[in-house]
Chain A
Amino acid sequence: MPYLGSEDVVKELKKALCNPHIQADRLRYRNVIQRVIRHMTQGLDMSGVFMEMVKASATVDIVQKKLVYLYMCTYAPLKPDLALLAINTLCKDCSDPNPMVRGLALRSMCSLRMPGVQEYIQQPILNGLRDKASYVRRVAVLGCAKMHNLHGDAEVDGALVNELYSLLRDQDPIVVVNCLRSLEEILKQEGGVVINKPIAHHLLNRMSKLDQWGQAEVLNFLLRYQPRSEEELFDILNLLDSFLKSSSPGVVMGATKLFLILAKKFPHVQTDVLVRVKGPLLAACSSESRELCFVALCHVRQILHSLPGHFSSHYKKFFCSYSEPHYIKLQKVEVLCELVNDENVQQVLEELRGYCTDVSADFSQAAIFAIGGIARTYTDQCVQILTELLGLRQEHITTVVVQTFRDLVWLCPQCTEAVCQALPGCEENIQDSEGKQALIWLLGVHGERIPNAPYVLEDFVDNVKSETFPAVKMELLTALLRLFLSRPAECQDMLGRLLHYCIEEEKDMAVRDRGLFYYRLLLVGIDEVRRILCSPKSDPSLGLLEDPAERPVNSWASDFNTLVPVYGKARWATISKYQGAKRHGPELSNTTSFATSGSLIPEENKERIQELPDSGSLMLIPNLQLTAEYFEKTWLSLKVAHQHVLPWQGTVHPDTLQMALQVVNIQTIAMSRAGAQPWKAYLSAQDDTGCLFLTELLVEPENSEIQISVKQTEARMETLNSFISVLETVIGTIGDIKS
């Protein structure tokens, strides 16, 4: 922390601290100490006056003591030898008649983060645990955790743990909660504090005596208690009922989570709980505390994933106010998009349309995307609104509308006609890369229905030299070639010009390569071009794949009231990935639920998909390259590690299946044609340790079953099981769509 002029300041303060006149005058002395702390706060290195500060700790002035202890806790790791000098004063204070002084000294002593301090603090902590003032006991209990933290991986002191367990029966509520916290940290390696029946019941009885922080904490600890019988379970739920109506939103959310988890086998109880917290959640959503409001909205969205109709009648609560902060508006728009139903769709769309012309471009774009989302169910109305928006001729609106159209045409082919009619004229108002790409793609794929498509593309071709985005050029090449297939006469000339430019003048390698590729493809013959470029124009089934119908409450109950709904599941997975699995052991052990979300990720998170499946124990590497020969050789040399049968109906659509498997990093080596009987597919995948998974899928004729056989190069049960669950999820999803 170098800071300009800090040396002079240190020198001056040192002088002042040593000055006997100042030392004699309490107020002046304290003032100097305050200045030291102030500089420390600003980031100056004040460790130079450590010696003088230690001396200042020997005083009866409590304020001065507090300041000095604060200073020492900050710099003790830098000056461990000098800090030992202060231990003596601290030890003496630990037996002061005033409980406040005792507590302060003990707390500070435990907070000195330096090696060798353990031997000094052990005894005071033990004394503190038996102190008659609960203020000291609170400090001592947390002191145990601090001491353990200093030790690092030292073994756990059994006697101390027992003492802490017995202190769970302490009179003072804060001591009880601190005991839980402390035990949790000390026993982290063994999976944390054990909540057995007597402890659970004791805590439940003390709940009403705790303050809000304690209540929230205890509710969290109770999550790991499993009632023996149904009767006990419902007794607990009855006892905790009032906390669903607590004045603290944190306690309400904690109680909700506990209810959801305890009642995981009783879906009707879960639904009932969610109905009951509707009021408190709505209140939080319209509260004046914006940050809380934000958190509540995140959780509302989470609930809506499972119960889409849950808040539908309250849709007006989620209308945005002009003066609300940006982040709340964006959340509200998302919520509106999710709670829409037959009754409110008219009003919601009306409201969203208003937002589209908001001054903030960000917000208006979010509103347009939301309309796009609703359009998947209420296509006609939405397309009409979007078309009207094009009439505003605003750049930031047009580009987003066109992007929305692109996605919509792919998922809801019935709207193609309307979109094609709306497109002419848009090109004047699009400047950014994303919007241009979307427009060009639409013109290429559906060009035969748009009369002026070739002329719009011609404009782009003419200006290609000044085009800055390579992605636009690539899109342009593909689109023009596609349009050439359906309207050759109008496109031939400019296609030639574009190819010439891309091959001869373009600097970007990717664009040049694509140009060359298309050129050679054309040389092979027009049929070949058609075979490669004419992919399906839309695929509504993908919409179902991306937009899972209903997720069970249990799939997110364990994430409720954590940071996961705030960040979004995908983002949290990347954040927590690096933090090591051990801290989150109990939360992430459920690999299956994570793998499930891997294949059902909503559209906006597509780019993060690669990172998702590895949050569990299984990590499949993307882009595995395996030749068919190698596959065959390996397949024949291995034994079947696992074989079982899943229900299956109808025929298989190879493309859909292949695409879905690709998403979870399972590659397809070979596959029968659609409708072939028997139908077979060979798949391969490799995890990060190098273990290969080879799979055969087999559908026998007239048999409503699919047989899965998996072979593995290294025999490991747990990765095999996670692999199979991933596979099952994908096949299950595809199967559902077909049936």
Chain B
Amino acid sequence: MIGGLFIYNHKGEVLISRVYRDDIGRNAVDAFRVNVIHARQQVRSPVTNIARTSFFHVKRSNIWLAAVTKQNVNAAMVFEFLYKMCDVMAAYFGKISEENIKNNFVLIYELLDEILDFGYPQNSETGALKTFITQQGIKSQTKEEQSQITSQVTGQIGWRREGIKYRRNELFLDVLESVNLLMSPQAPGQVLSAHVSGRVVMKSYLSGMPECKFGMNDKIVIEKQGKGTADETSKSGKQSIAIDDCTFHQCVRLSKFDSERSISFIPPDGEFELMRYRTTKDIILPFRVIPLVREVGRTKLEVKVVIKSNFKPSLLAQKIEVRIPTPLNTSGVQVICMKGKAKYKASENAIVWKIKRMAGMKESQISAEIELLPTNDKKKWARPPISMNFEVPFAPSGLKVRYLKVFEPKLNYSDHDVIKWVRYIGRSGIYETRC
């Protein structure tokens, strides 16, 4: 149970404070500010105990959200709740920033009132919440809307209301992946760890209560189906992927997944996260970074970094950024790069090399000469890893959407009438190469 919820800006000013239980006083607001936000050292733990009160905090850009309780609660649950709170707020007013929170503070109080009662989480689905929140204020409700609330709150399916109608039945599938890599510096470049965490996000604008079935190139499914035709297995076998673990939105029938590995569900209206998964095998690493650092005497470093793109030549990677750390005592840097723009940013102690676009199977190189100030500091430079950011139009895990079928028995539209869009975006998570 949550005793209170506070939102602060980066200075520690309270933007929102809502107390649900008697045992949390106003001084709790100040205690968190003094002990955590204004603390000198870096944050030691996302759970802080001050005077036997536990503070769970989450940071979004420069906004702090803190949930407070005196009970022995489930830490994971409280954090999930805070994430949910962020999601709900983002669904209403976009980015969570100080300005947005100040502008929407009435709305936030309204949300806090509905999501938590007496410190217990209540309904938190954005779609379902929209019925209770008077976003634009006064709105005389029609009879129909009123009956909607009743059906919404008594309905069997909590995540979808009845009687949704669209003139154009449309759905969007986004496969969003973030690929994480940690690579050792040795010459052949050994992968220390790599994993992809992905999400399938669906935006559905479908009428009625549609029954959907989602298929992808999951190894287990393909092997199961391939039993009959051995030929097909050998063909598609290469392209199937092994998913380490996956979790689904509440709407997916898990029993069916366990028995048949088929993913069937009635989707919520609007945007939701259908599935979350993780893979560690056969990851397509979109970029390889090959660093070469040479110390020339005590006052000079020579750095050469080659990046190689490793995907189909017809595809284009975007927003590529390579960050090459430099020592603290750098006095000057000369950079030569074949492509893009590179700049030494003294405040960040790094050379930032940006390339707008890069096709697959290409190679690019940057070389830099770093002048160092002689210091008597004996501390050796720790050589932080070279990190990379990018976006590619494919899924690094190799996941492919095979089909998404829609059945709505009661209304007269069929699977063919639904317009479907599929998009793959692979982004870099923590993509580091040690040097």
A residues neighboring B (CB under 8 Å): 1, 26, 30, 34, 37-38, 41-43, 60-63, 66-67, 70, 74, 97-100, 104, 107, 111, 113, 132-135, 138-139, 142, 145-146, 149, 171-174, 177-178, 181, 208-209, 211-213, 216-217, 220, 242, 245-250, 253-254, 279-280, 282-284, 286-292, 294-296, 298, 316-317, 319, 321-327, 354, 357-359, 392-394, 561-564, 566-567, 571-572, 575-576, 578-579, 583-584, 587
Do B254 and A242 have beta carbons less than 8 Å apart? yes
Q: State how many angstroms separate the Cβ of A223 from the closest Cβ of chain B.
A: 12
Stretch of B41-49, B223-231, B301-309 contacting A (4+ beta carbons < 8 Å): B41-49
Contact, CB under 8 Å: B384 / A138: no
* Complex Cα spacing A652 to B15, Å: 65
How far is the CB of A186 from the nearest CB of chain B, in Å? Answer: 12
Question: B125 in the interface, Cβ–Cβ < 8 Å?
Answer: yes
B91-99, B105-113, B209-217, B339-347 - interface stretch: B105-113
Cα–Cα, bound, A328→B236 (Å) = 40
Q: Which of A61, A295, A579 has the most CB of B within 10 A?
A: A295
Can you sample 26 A-B contacts with CB below 8 Å? A26-B138, A34-B106, A41-B16, A41-B17, A42-B14, A66-B110, A100-B149, A107-B117, A113-B22, A133-B149, A133-B154, A139-B117, A181-B1, A213-B77, A242-B255, A247-B276, A249-B80, A280-B245, A286-B197, A288-B178, A294-B47, A296-B76, A394-B379, A567-B49, A578-B52, A587-B72
Task: Tell me if B106 and A63 are in contact (CB < 8 A).
Answer: yes
- Shortest C-beta distance, A108 to chain B (Å), equals 9
A563-B245 contact given A67-B106, A245-B254, CB 8 Å threshold: no
Tell yes or no: B120 within 8 A of A by CB: yes
The answer for the CA separation of A572 and B47 in the assembled complex, in Å, is 13
B80 near A292 with CB under 8 A, answer: yes
Residue pair A138, B122 in contact (C-beta under 8 Å): yes
Chain A residues with CB under 8 A of B118 = 111, 142, 145-146, 181
Distance in angstroms between the alpha carbons of A564 and B109 in the assembled complex: 32
How far is it, in angstroms, between the C-alpha of A41 and the C-alpha of B7 when the chains are bound? 10
- The answer to whether A212 touches B74 (Cβ under 8 A) is no
A67 to B254, CA, bound (A): 42
Size band of the interface chain B makes with A: 35 or more
User: If the complex has contacts A42-B13, A286-B195, A394-B379, are A294 and B45 also in contact, measured as CB distance less than 8 A?
Assistant: yes
Question: Please, how many angstroms separate the alpha-carbon atoms of A135 and B132 in the complex?
Answer: 10
B144 interface residue, CB < 8 Å from A?
no
Expressed in whole angstroms, the Cα–Cα distance for A282 and B120 within the complex equals 28
Q: Are B45 and A70 in contact (CB under 8 A)?
A: no
**Cβ–Cβ contact B382 & A358, under 8 A:** yes
Task: Name the interface residues of B336-367: CB closer than 8 Å to any CB of A.
Answer: none
Q: Knowing A107-B117, A327-B44 touch, does A287 contact B387 (C-beta < 8 A)?
A: no
Known contacts A178-B122, A292-B80; 13 further A-B pairs (Cβ under 8 A): A37-B109, A74-B19, A171-B154, A177-B120, A216-B77, A217-B120, A249-B76, A284-B76, A291-B82, A321-B432, A323-B430, A394-B379, A576-B52
Q: Are A38 and B254 in contact (CB under 8 A)?
A: no
Report how far A30 CA is from B154 CA in the complex, Å.
32
Residue in A132, A142, A576 whose CB lies within 8 Å of B120: A142
| From A62, A174, A325, A579, contact of B122 by CB (8 A) | A174
Which of B58, B149, B180 is A291 in contact with, Cβ under 8 Å?
Answer: B58
Indicate if the CB atoms of B380 and A174 lie closer than 8 Å.
no
Q: Are B123 and A279 in contact (CB under 8 A)?
A: no
The answer to the question of B39 belonging to the interface, with a C-beta cut-off of 8 Å to chain A, is no
Answer whether residue B150 sits at the interface, using C-beta atoms and an 8 A cutoff.
yes
Our pick among A133, A174, A319, A324 for the contact of B192 (Cβ within 8 Å) is: A319
- Whether the Cβ atoms of B197 and A288 lie closer than 8 Å is yes
Known contacts A316-B192, A575-B52, A579-B52; A63/B430 CB under 8 A: no
| B385 interfacial by beta-carbon distance below 8 Å | yes
User: Are the C-beta atoms of B154 and A63 separated by less than 8 Å?
Assistant: no
List the A residue with the shortest CB-CB distance to B19: A74
Would A172 and B74 be within 8 Å (CB), given that A211-B124, A279-B244 are in contact?
no
Is there a chain A Cβ closer than 8 Å to B220's Cβ? Answer: no
Is B134 among interface residues, defined by CB-CB distance under 8 A?
yes
Verify if B247 is at the interface (C-beta below 8 Å from A): yes
B410 at the binding interface (Cβ < 8 Å): no
- Are B153 and A134 closer than 8 Å at their CB atoms? yes
Residues of B within 8 A of A174 (CB): 122-123
Closest residue of chain B to A247 (Cβ to Cβ) is B247
Q: Do A245 and B153 touch across chains, with their CB atoms under 8 A apart?
A: no
- Could you say which of B74, B193, B387, B432 contacts A317, with CB atoms under 8 Å apart? B193
A-B pairs, 4 with minimum CB distance: A247-B247, A250-B77, A213-B121, A279-B245
Q: Whose C-beta in chain A lies nearest to the C-beta of B115?
A: A213
Nearest Cβ distance between residue A200 and chain B, in whole angstroms? 20
Partner of B74, one of A63, A242, A254, A321: A254
A70 touches B109 (CB 8 A): yes
Does B248 make an interface contact (CB < 8 A)?
yes
Nearest-neighbour CB distance to chain B for A324, whole angstroms, equals 7
Given A295-B79, A567-B47, A173 and B158 contact (CB-CB distance below 8 Å): yes
State whether B83 touches A289 (Cβ < 8 A): yes
- Whole-angstrom CA separation of A661 from B329 in the bound complex: 56
List chain A residues, Cβ under 8 A from B83. 289, 292
Cβ contacts B180-224/A at 8 Å (1 or 0 each)? 101000000000110101000000000000000000000000000
Contacts of B247 in A (CB 8 A): 245-248, 280, 283
Given A62-B134, A289-B79, A562-B74: A133 touches B153 (CB 8 Å cut-off): yes
Select A359's contact among B22, B47, B382, beta carbons within 8 Å: B382
> Most chain-A Cβ atoms within 10 A of its Cβ — which of B57, B250, B258?
B250
B421 to chain A, nearest CB (A): 24
Closest chain A residue to B245, Cβ basis: A279
A213-B124 CB under 8 A given contacts A279-B244, A316-B193:
yes
Beta-carbon contact of A326 and B158 below 8 Å? no
Name the distance in Å between A136's Cβ and chain B's nearest Cβ.
9
Distance in Å from the Cβ of A107 to the closest Cβ of chain B? 6
Q: Are B138 and A563 in contact (CB under 8 A)?
A: no
Partner of A41, one of B14, B45, B120, B150: B14
